[in-house]
Chains A and B, each alone.
Chain A
């Protein structure tokens, strides 16, 4: 899976010492989408405006070398991600062994099937 842009994004956020929740709350972003970008599930946005917004949220100064690097990585990754995503569609590796349930009970067979499909959907690009 190619997650160069995602890795870079996450690295910058962590350097700011912001948790995903905090970062998204402060910048009005959706943590689900940002998490998908960071994990390479969603490609970098095509829109220059959106990229610029993300760069600013990450504290990257407009016009700096880092700014250019951020855009370069986004362009490079945008072209590479679709084929790599195919590998990521294998949801089986993500299926959990244990769940924290309210009543401490296991799910039924029907619930497990439904759960796996919900997790698969959650790991697909929108």
Chain B
């Protein structure tokens, strides 16, 4: 085929593509199926706060999640069992659970009951035990969890603008998984008589 033929064919192809109807109605009316899934409150909720460009939120979330992991790792390494055992018992601050992650995967999905149970269980255990941690470590842990929750919140907002975005969905899942891992690590750290039975966060199905 000569170059001329190719251009000619390309032009004819473009013309043919341009003639295709953009609208192709479905063979059956899909409205009844859609209507059945419309929750009355969903679209009627108060208008969302104006968004920042989600790319910034996403970038911030990635940084926060990464930073959170590093902090947790260093926390677990430094504050080994002996220091925990020596730490005086103080009442657990209420702030650990005050801003617990909403158990929602994006604006339109629910997380699995298994995840919710594990999250609830780990949070409750940590509330009991956090008083055994040194104040500095406790502060870092609380900051760490708060950062993860802010990250999840930002990703959730971005997902609302880009529903179904695969990158955001994966990031949100990893953030939830990260939070479970932090909770589990903190519980292990604060366990008085060694780590007791607790949910294995690495095997939780989100």
Say whether A and B bind each other: no
